[in-house]
């Protein structure tokens, strides 16, 4: 069974986090939701609280197949500043393990030095990352080497499905996509 980490911090984008967690669990992927600050419950940007499975400091990156960062500016800045998240990102990238981020969260990948040349993000965030390699709205999901990025709340289900395809294969991807009525999701660039 594939095992992924979704770290969340206060101010995370709820649609993104919940879509990722839900779609991946439907695909029988083990999803660990980790908080950054010893709190079991973390409040998102729109006042929705998520109960976490663990604290980020207790995560063993060796046991993970992927780390996925949801966006939301406050949450993204916290992920970018958290030494544990940054260490996990660097460790996983050094081993060629899968990394993904949506919305503003590619900023945290950039800060860790793991964001590859081609990426997408929420419009205007590229100004804080770099314009070179920014794919804008050319695709809902952009994949470059071991890193996947996506644009924001409206692309969250497609992003999660692209992750399912990467981790579980075409058959599971098609089954979950049909089950959640997401036939509008396009292929990854």
Question: What residues are annotated to the active site?
Answer: 103
Q: How many CB atoms lie within 10 A of CB 94?
A: 10
**Nearest residue to 135 (alpha-carbon basis) of 147, 149, 145, 146:** 149
Chain Cα centroid distance, residue 178: 22
- What single-letter DSSP state applies at residue 63? G
- Classify 22 as helix, strand or coil: helix
Q: What is the DSSP string of 89-122?
A: HHHHHHTT-EEEEETTTHHHHHHHT---SSB--S
């Amino acid at each position: 069974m594939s095992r992924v980490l979704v770290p969340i911090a206060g101010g995370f984008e709820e649609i993104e986090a919940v879509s990722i967690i839900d779609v991946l669990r439907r695909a029988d992927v083990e999803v660990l939701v980790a908080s950054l600050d010893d709190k079991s419950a973390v409040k998102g940007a729109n006042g929705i609280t998520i109960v976490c499975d663990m604290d980020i400091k207790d995560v063993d990156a060796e046991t993970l197949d992927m780390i996925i960062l949801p966006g939301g500016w406050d949450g993204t800045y916290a992920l970018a500043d958290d030494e544990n998240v940054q260490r996990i990102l660097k460790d996983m990238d050094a081993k060629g393990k899968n990394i993904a981020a949506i919305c503003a969260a590619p900023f945290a990948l950039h800060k860790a030095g793991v964001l590859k040349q081609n990426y997408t993000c929420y419009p205007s965030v590229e100004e804080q990352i770099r314009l070179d390699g920014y794919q804008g709205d050319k695709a809902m999901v952009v994949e470059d080497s071991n890193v996947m990025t996506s644009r924001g709340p409206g692309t969250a289900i497609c992003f999660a499905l692209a992750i399912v395809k990467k981790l579980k294969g075409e058959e599971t991807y098609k089954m979950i996509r049909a089950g959640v009525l997401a036939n509008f999701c396009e292929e990854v660039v």
